[in-house]
Chain A
Amino acid sequence: MKKLSARRRHPLAAVVVLLLALAATGGLYAAFAPASKAQADETSQSLTIKEGRKLYEVGCASCHGTGGQGSSDGPSLVGVGSAAVDFQVGTGRMPAATSQGAQAPRKKPVYTQTQIDQLAAYVASLGAGPVVPTKQQYGPAGADVAKGGELFRTNCAQCHNFTGKGGALTEGKYAPTLEGVEPKHIYEAMQTGPQNMPSFPDTTMSSQNKKDIIAYLHAVDSSETTNPGGLELGGLGPVSEGLFAWIFGLGALIAVAVWVAARTAKAKKS
């Protein structure tokens, strides 16, 4: 005992106590957790949820709270549904690198699709919400491209530009380009309204309409889009056209003028 009391004021004593406490808590948790697990049903769905929960606790809980209740760094995930998770994690927006910044940018996804499905299943288990759409919902079959164009110009173009090239919002936020975004993710974005986007649930925009919009975007803003007039110049309209006219149009003509003026019938002086 003397030994212990002699060292209780050691600088590392607090760390040791903390470690012991943590080990004890962890040990107790390990001892009690299996018991609750034993009561859950062992279907594949619940297994997926369980795996998702594990992933969630590692990758998401620090901001969204241990039970998805949200914190000062991230919103509550109760009721956002699996579609939101599939969109946010599937496009790499989540996990966000930081909670600072105007909005989470699209980046390379961190999780595999299986892991995303597990996460989605876990979050969906927290409360009912929009469900990941099926291929039949967002696929090209039965879509009306022209109708989609009209819907896009009415509902989407004011932020995403005529053909989905994206645009600026306030304070550094922006509507991202829709080029190269998977149809499923476009559908989910409309369904869930991520970040600054309003949501378009089936009650305001039917599943068929969403399919039309996706088909329109595929026609005008994908790798298969042809530009009958030549170089698209970013598809940004008159600003890039004006820059091109000044730099390449007038630039070339001034170069030609210099060339013509330099070629003169002037008699050479000796």
Chain B
Amino acid sequence: MSTAANEPARSRGKAPAGERIADWADGRLGIYSLAKANMRKIFPDHWSFMLGEVCMYSFIIIILTGVYLTLFFHPSMNEVVYHGSYVPLQGQMMSEAFNSTLHISFDVRGGLLVRQIHHWAALIFLAGMFVHMMRVFFTGAFRKPREINWLFGFLLFVLGMFTGFTGYSLPDDLLSGTGVRFTEGAILSMPIVGTYISYFLFGGQFPGHDFVARFYSIHILLLPGIMLGLMVAHLILVFYHKHTQFAGPGKSNTNVVGMPLLPVYMAKAGGFFFLVFGVIAAIAAVAQINPIWAMGPYRPDQVSTGAQPDWYMGFAEGLIRFMPGWEINFWGHTLVLGVFIPLVLFGVVLGAMAVYPFIESWVTGDKSEHHILDRPRNAPTRTGLGVAWVTMYMITLVGGGNDLWATHFHLSINAVTWFVRIFFFVGPVIAFIATKRICLGLQRRDRDKVLHGRETGIIKRLPHGEFIEVHEPLSQEQLHTLTTHTQYAPAEIGPLVDENGVERKVKASEKLRVKLSSAYYGEDNQIPKPTSDEYKEITSGHGHH
């Protein structure tokens, strides 16, 4: 159909197909203004800023491979007799879930590889989130305005743990069944509500006939749905806040220095997705994970040694393993502290990470926005607390694998357990003190570098015989980078009398805040950074060194 209005356009020749498609889409979606606003979005360049990408890509890989697995998995606990191709299980009774997982592993084309990609990607996803979270923590990227995004990320980590848990429980093998039993025990240890929750979750007595189907819904629909939403929100906030950057010349709290999203970051990120997929696929092709055929079908009367959860639940295992088996009996009721305390600690250890940004901002009283990252050494108390937390986490992981430590290092499992019991408390303290000392040492070194320059390693002999090492002054850029961070002054208790001269009551929280603030920023808890006066005095002066 041709109209008069179309004639002039045609006379100039048709626009390229791509432009016409874009025009068509713009008329309906308004993509031009969106693209104009976002295509030149700037991202700074640093390898640690790509850790989040590792998580996002492995999450996508998990979803893609997971969809393939759902095509063949039967989430049912009906008992069947195995007639598949794995000989050592032929004729055994097992649930349909286990049977179909064996079917995927041995009889579906590519099934085992996809299963292994799915599982390895899950381990890497969680490990990536852990490292990403640590990167954000140690660089102070969680500070205003990013506290909510920190919480989103934290929720993603916790939901990831439970998605992983419900996922590895699905095959209904002996290892995962033991893990589900463990979970049932943890639920039962809750006072009053425990038994009700357990009956509700398992549809009656453990194991019942329901949990695989229920975990399946949770694993493939509920949790990943929430996670996908959170991940999108997480990314939207990254876009909205813009990315943080390390301090450096030309970088300030009001700009972002880096490369535009299009074309540079699209190409980089797109390529990085395939690299992540490639690495995970290569690992899945080379290394076996969760060989359920070797573990056999779950039966509540069977158990194996070395029954540990995947690594991200390992610290829960550790908490249980090193907790003494205390219990209190009263009026015919039992409070199993040996399980209930670890359950509480599970929440406390994780929760500490979630609330940290709010604690720090309360202590500093800093309400300004931060887009420049801290170097960990410049926040010694925060860095020390972070390392203490990681130490505690790692110690519980050691506790979770205490039997393997014992067998592989020829130790007594009792000794390993006692080591973990003691170092669960002592380790973080030592780690905190050592880290803080190291940070302060590094701050002193930075100060020396700024004031006296870099040690060149060149030894010079002066006419009168003295040997000195030649120090090379730092460039202006390096000086800026080393001295640009803000140093807080410790908070002080305000005037003790109000404007009317009436004595004011100092609240306990205020006292606590002042105490904490001096622990963060007080004397000996940070090294004053060199001032420009000090710098001038030293550099202008004669008699260098």
Contact = CB atoms under 8 A, between A and B. Distances in A.
Contact of A249 (B91, B123, B272): B123
B290 to A, nearest CB: 7
23 contacts: A147-B91, A149-B89, A150-B92, A153-B174, A153-B296, A163-B294, A172-B410, A172-B413, A227-B291, A229-B112, A231-B288, A237-B307, A243-B311, A246-B127, A249-B123, A249-B280, A253-B276, A254-B47, A257-B53, A260-B50, A260-B271, A261-B45, A262-B47
A181 B334 CA distance: 45
Grouping DSSP codes into helix (H, G, I), strand (E, B) and loop, the A interface class, with mixed when no group exceeds half, is helix
B271 A244 contact: no
Contacts of B53: 257
B478 interface: no
A34 interface: no
Given A162-B296, A229-B288, A257 B51 contact: yes
Interface of B: 45-51, 53-54, 87-92, 105-106, 112, 116, 120, 123-124, 127-128, 131, 174-175, 259, 264, 268, 271-272, 275-276, 279-280, 283, 285-291, 293-296, 299, 301-311, 314, 400-404, 406-407, 410-415
Contacts of B272: 256-257, 260
A19 B400 CA distance: 60
Given A150-B92, A172-B406, A239 B308 contact: yes
A253 B88 contact: no
Nearest to A225: B294
B50 A257 contact: yes
Interface residues of A, number: 63
Nearest to A145: B88
A174 B410 CA distance: 9
A232 B301 CA distance: 26
Interface string A156-176: 011111110111111110110
Nearest to A160: B305
A24 interface: no
Interface in A121-159: 145-150, 153-154, 157-159
Given A158-B303, A172-B411, A229 B291 contact: yes
A205 to B, nearest CB: 15
A235 B283 contact: no
Interface centre among A158, A170, A239, A266 (most CB of B within 10 A): A239
B174 A162 contact: yes
A228 B112 contact: yes
A254 B53 CA distance: 11
Interface centre among B53, B283, B301, B411 (most CB of A within 10 A): B283
